């Protein structure tokens, strides 16, 4: 049996008064998720281990069954792997967001979802003006870029910018967690403040302002770490070949370390306008030559960060109709059985516009397996499912069990 995970990032939520007390998952029209829930077995999964921040890198690695205390080294190292940056011993890698600051306020974490082309121009400029043998900036995708500090100390207290929209930024500057990290924290904070001086009048930002868009007028480094020591999924679970499909660097980086082939889909954006059909087709093609496929769709998470309930519902419905439907219907015509799992990595409630560590609902559908009594897919129906609440590698081991 082959296996595909379809992950709607941040899809889970909390009851919303404007929806009559429903969550976006409950309010959305999702006939194919509901069909899989009725045909399969359901449960909840604790994706954020105690003591860990509910970041997408933690939650996705946990879905794949990795032991976080053993392997976690932050987002930066995963994004370095995704864009082909080979980290050397002592290299400190950090996610480096391009953000929008208004006065003393961190307006948003994405500079209004700046394009990769604009971001590339700004990152090259930052490298030219602030880079050195010790400090190197690398272009990623959109606002998600990479900063490498050679000889940096990772013992830093860094605030993810998507956690603190509309908050004053200065109290959130990087703080050392050990005396030896003082120099690294001071270097990074100086880079933040200097970036604000040199980015404000850059032509890219002047054009964005003229068009009524948010300028990318500051960097924000966070999630520090060194190269992780991760087993591949083949070593962990015994299958031969796997692939990952995502528009997001950190997921692609997880795929590199997990031993999965990283597939690129034209028009995959990480937003609601992503190429759902293209990703679904790429997943189906990958299943012909791989034993395991991890299809990651970011759009619902970004809608949650924006606090846009209507958009979040739309992204969930798009995932259902434009990705899950064609995958499910096509697989019904195959002779070889394929197991399907549907789940988010973590909730991203619209009310607070950031991640939480609540367990998430999941479906495991395997052709020929006796279903449980759950008839629809949402945060509350899953509580009544066959699997109850799983943790650590229990979900992935159940899913991969033939």
Average confidence score pLDDT of the chain: 96
| % of residues, the chain, pLDDT over 90 | 92
Distance CA 248, CA 136 (A): 21
| Domains defined for the chain, CATH in brackets | 2-72+230-400 (3.40.720.10), 80-226 (no CATH)
Instruction: Give pLDDT, residue 248.
Output: 87
Q: How many CB atoms lie within 10 A of CB 290?
A: 22
Instruction: Give pLDDT, residue 267.
Output: 86
Name the pLDDT band for 338 (thresholds 50, 70, 90): very high
Name the pLDDT band for 191 (thresholds 50, 70, 90): very high
Distance CA 386, CA 381 (A): 11
Instruction: Give pLDDT, residue 38.
Output: 98
- 34: tokens are 């509901």
Helix (H, G, I), strand (E, B) or coil at 343: strand
Name the pLDDT band for 185 (thresholds 50, 70, 90): very high
Distance CA 25, CA 382 (A): 12
Query: Which of 203, 180, 82 has the alpha carbon at shortest distance from 139?
Result: 82
pLDDT tens-place string over residues 81-93: 988 999 999 999 9
Average pLDDT over residues 226-251: 94
pLDDT tens-place string over residues 246-277: 998 889 999 999 999 999 999 888 788 899 99
Whether the pLDDT of residue 133 is over 90: the answer is yes
| Residue 251 neighbours by CB under 8 Å, 6+ apart | 56, 60, 78, 82, 244, 294, 296
Instruction: Give pLDDT, residue 340.
Output: 98
pLDDT tens-place string over residues 150-174: 999 999 999 999 889 999 999 999 9
Assign residue 149 a region: left if phi > 0, alpha if psi is -120 to 50, beta otherwise? Answer: beta
349 with 356: CB under 8 angstroms? yes
- Whole-structure pTM value: 0.84
**Continuous H helices in 64-215:** 68-71, 75-82, 116-130, 182-199, 203-210
């Amino acid at each position: 049996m082959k296996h595909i995970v379809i992950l709607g990032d941040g899809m889970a939520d909390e009851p919303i008064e404007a929806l009559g007390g429903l969550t976006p998952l409950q309010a959305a029209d999702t006939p194919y998720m509901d069909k899989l829930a009725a045909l399969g077995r359901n449960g909840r999964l604790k994706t954020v281990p105690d003591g860990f921040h509910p970041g997408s890198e933690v939650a996705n690695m946990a879905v794949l069954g990795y032991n976080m205390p053993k392997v976690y080294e932050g987002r930066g190292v995963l994004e370095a792997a995704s864009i082909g940056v080979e980290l050397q011993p002592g290299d400190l890698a950090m996610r480096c967001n391009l953000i929008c600051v208004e006065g003393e306020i961190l307006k948003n974490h994405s500079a209004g979802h700046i394009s990769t082309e604009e971001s590339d121009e700004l990152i090259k400029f930052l490298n030219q003006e602030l880079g050195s043998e010790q400090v190197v900036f690398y272009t990623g995708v959109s606002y998600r870029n990479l900063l490498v500090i050679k000889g940096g100390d990772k013992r830093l207290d860094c605030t993810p910018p998507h956690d603190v929209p509309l908050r004053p930024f200065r109290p959130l500057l990087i703080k050392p967690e050990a005396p030896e990290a003082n120099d690294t924290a001071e270097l990074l904070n100086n880079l933040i403040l200097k970036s604000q001086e040199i980015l404000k009048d850059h032509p890219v930002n002047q054009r964005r302002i003229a068009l009524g868009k948010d300028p990318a007028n500051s960097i924000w480094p966070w999630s520090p770490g060194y190269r992780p020591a991760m087993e591949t999924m083949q070593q962990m679970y015994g299958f031969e070949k796997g692939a990952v499909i995502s528009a997001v660097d950190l997921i692609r980086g997880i795929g590199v370390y997990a031993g999965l082939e990283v597939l690129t889909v034209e028009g995959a954006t990480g937003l609601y306008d992503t190429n759902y059909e293209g990703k679904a087709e790429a997943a189906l093609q990958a299943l012909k030559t791989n034993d395991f496929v991890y299809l990651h769709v970011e759009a619902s998470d970004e809608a949650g960060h924006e606090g846009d309930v209507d958009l979040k519902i739309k992204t969930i419905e798009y995932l259902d109709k434009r990705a899950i439907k064609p995958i499910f219907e096509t697989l019904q015509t195959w002779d070889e059985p394929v197991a399907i799992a549907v789940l988010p990595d973590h909730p991203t409630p619209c009310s607070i516009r950031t991640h939480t560590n609540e367990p998430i609902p999941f479906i495991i559908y395997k052709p020929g397996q006796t279903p449980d009594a759950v008839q629809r897919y949402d945060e509350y129906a899953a509580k009544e499912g066959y699997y109850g609440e799983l943790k650590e590698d229990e979900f992935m081991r159940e899913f991969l069990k033939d």
